[in-house]
Amino acid sequence: MKGGTVQINWHDTKPVLTLDFHPHSGILATGGADYDIKLWLINSGEKLPSVSYHNSLSYHSSAINVLRFSPSGEQIASGADGGELIIWKLHATENSQTWKVLKTLSFHRKDVLDLEWSTDGSFLISGSVDNSCIIWDANKGSVHQILDSHFHYVQGVAWDPLAKYVASLSSDRTCRIYLKKAQTKTKGADKTNYVCQHVISKAENPSDESKSAKNHLFHDETLPSFFRRLAWSPDGSFLLVPAGSYKVSPATETINTAYVFSRKDLSRPALHLPCASKPIVAVRFCPLAFRLRGTNPSGFFKLPHRIVFAVATLDSLNIYDTESVTPIAVWAGLHYAAITDITWSPDAHYLALSSQDGYCTLVEFENDELGSPIYLSEEKKVIGEGDESLVKKPEGMLIEATTENSLAATKAINEENKISVKKPDDMVIDTTPSKSLVAANNEISEAERNKQTEAEKKVIGDDRSRVEKPEDMVIDATTNDSLAADIEISEAERKEKKVMGDDSSTVQKPEDMVIEASANDSLVAANDGKKESPSTVTTPTVNKPTKRRITPMAIDP
């Protein structure tokens, strides 16, 4: 594993707000506050991947907040400030390929913050600052359905890969799950619409004696991020939702987390993944599934394969898999402003993330470093609603930090500002075999497992002189008694507030993955939802990195 912050002029040093890999060619597309979409070629390098400019797509008249390639790779959808939403189409010529504007989708009144394609590429869902989601007919270029139940900005949307649900996440502190239903029209033709099935907002505190006391599950509009990008797993088995806020008890400090919703029960979280002290703003799944390693047969996920996913806070990146309780890799201190988006290359060879400081970070994985890839079509049956619960539910159905020590240890990731990668043997929580969790047709030999976990991963760090470094970084994850059974719709929070920002005017240019702290390292200023770019860029002093390991804590189910 190698990588770092690539020192090129991505978007004229203005914030990079979104990025996505082409599903076949692996070309990286980025969008930012310079109103352009830029295409890049990624190549392996000795220290970190290299990037070369390929092409620009210019048509937008405002900052581009989100772009996504269609599943076929023949189209790009891009959303921008002011409600701009454009579909681009790839045109092949004799010597090259050119992207041209195909359709302009007009209905959103304010900034488009997130979008996603349906699995077949026929529809789009978009979320906007106008508090609405819109499902578009991509072939006709028309509005198919408007979902206007949210009371504040819609900052994230996700489309179920099994084509049954769509989901949205808003700064009104609710996540809404919509179920597809066919409605018969008067002329005899059927029209498919989505009906709100769940509104996830509050949960009872399991440690609170008062049964009526309930806590919000998500941050409010004061969260200093334009985006809350949620995602479905590629097999549709679970939904991962960022911007989580959880309290063990009213007296304890809030834990920033991402919630895991099992497909069998989308009405409440099944698990939550505690993270560093900064809120989680984006999640993204690796497009490939991997063979089980058998390192943790007592894990919480009951899947016949491993799924890998990235979780980004405002200033750090964590990589998880469904066989581990703790992250398999953690990066911190990568950028001086908020992380905005994450994307995986189609072959899982690269992971890229963008930031409002105007730069992008690229991580390159060696062949089979994440595991042995498999195709979900190889599974004997498609995972669906009728299956046994895909998330193993111990008593509390929670992975969480519950003690003062574990809360302090969870914060250590952010305070350390180190990039830490665990050794494979650190990932082993319980090596007791469990045939009930590992399908027989997916078992691998002991020799192959040893081969997969043989090489130690490098540790690349960031040493900031003004940060006190703890002796060790520990992520504590322990189960809790229960998560609330009753989910309520939160009261309407109709009063819109400005998104919090940062008044810093100077951003230092990262050097590889080592970044030195500046006098002011908070987020890039944002007034009335508008993104401002840093005015100057300087080269920091590079400090020698120090190796660190994450020590997994015992799980008490």
Residue 128 has pLDDT above 80, yes or no: yes
Q: What angle do CA 105, 109, 111 make, to 5 degrees?
A: 85
Q: How far is CA 51 from the centre of its chain?
A: 23
Pairing type for strands 506-508 and 536-538 reads parallel
Residue 334 lies in a domain: yes
Residue that wins the pLDDT comparison between 483 and 232: 232
Residue 401 lies in a domain: no
247: CB partners within 8 A, 6+ apart: 205, 215, 253, 254, 255
| Sheet bearing 28-32, strands edge to edge | 16-21, 28-32, 36-43, 50-58
Q: Would you state the pLDDT for residue 205? A: 67
pLDDT band at 185 (very low <50, low <70, confident <90, very high): low
| pLDDT one-digit tens code per residue, 2-39 | 888 999 999 999 999 999 999 999 999 999 999 999 99
Q: How does DSSP assign 419-477, residue by residue?
A: -EE--GGGG-S-----TTTS-GGG---HHHHHHHT-SPPP--B---TTSPPPS-EEE--
Residue 457 lies in a domain: no
- The three-state secondary structure class of 407 is helix
Q: Where are the beta strands (DSSP E) in 121-270?
A: 123-128, 133-137, 142-147, 154-159, 165-170, 175-184, 190-200, 202-204, 214-216, 231-232, 238-246, 255-262
Residue 278 lies in a domain: yes
Segment 443-464 mean pLDDT = 37
* Number of domains into which the chain is organized: 1
CATH of the domain at 60: 2.130.10.10
Q: Would you state the pLDDT for residue 294? A: 83
In angstroms, the CA 552 to CA 548 distance is 13
Residue that wins the pLDDT comparison between 210 and 360: 360
Q: Would you state the pLDDT for residue 413? A: 40
- As a whole number of Å, the CA-based R_g of the chain is 22
Residue 91 lies in a domain: yes
Taking every pair of Cα atoms in the chain, the longest distance, rounded to a whole number of angstroms, is 72
| Sheet bearing 231-232, strands edge to edge | 231-232, 238-246, 255-262, 271-274
| pLDDT one-digit tens code per residue, 147-183 | 999 999 999 999 999 999 999 999 999 999 999 997 7
CB 421 within 8 A of CB 457: yes
Residue 437 lies in a domain: no
pLDDT band at 239 (very low <50, low <70, confident <90, very high): very high
| pLDDT one-digit tens code per residue, 288-336 | 999 998 877 666 888 999 999 999 999 999 999 999 878 999 999 889 9
pLDDT band at 384 (very low <50, low <70, confident <90, very high): very low
Residue 120 lies in a domain: yes
Note the pTM of the prediction, 2 decimals: 0.71
Q: How far is CA 503 from the centre of its chain?
A: 26
Instruction: Determine how many CB atoms are found less than 10 A away from the CB of residue 381.
Output: 8
Q: Would you state the pLDDT for residue 89? A: 97
Residue 200 has pLDDT above 60, yes or no: yes
Residue 252 lies in a domain: yes
Place of tokens 């809790």: 480
| pLDDT one-digit tens code per residue, 323-375 | 987 899 999 988 999 999 999 999 999 999 999 999 999 999 998 899 999 97
Q: Would you state the pLDDT for residue 519? A: 35
In angstroms, the CA 323 to CA 431 distance is 11
| Domain enclosing residue 169, as ranges | 2-374
pLDDT band at 530 (very low <50, low <70, confident <90, very high): very low
Q: Would you state the pLDDT for residue 184? A: 59
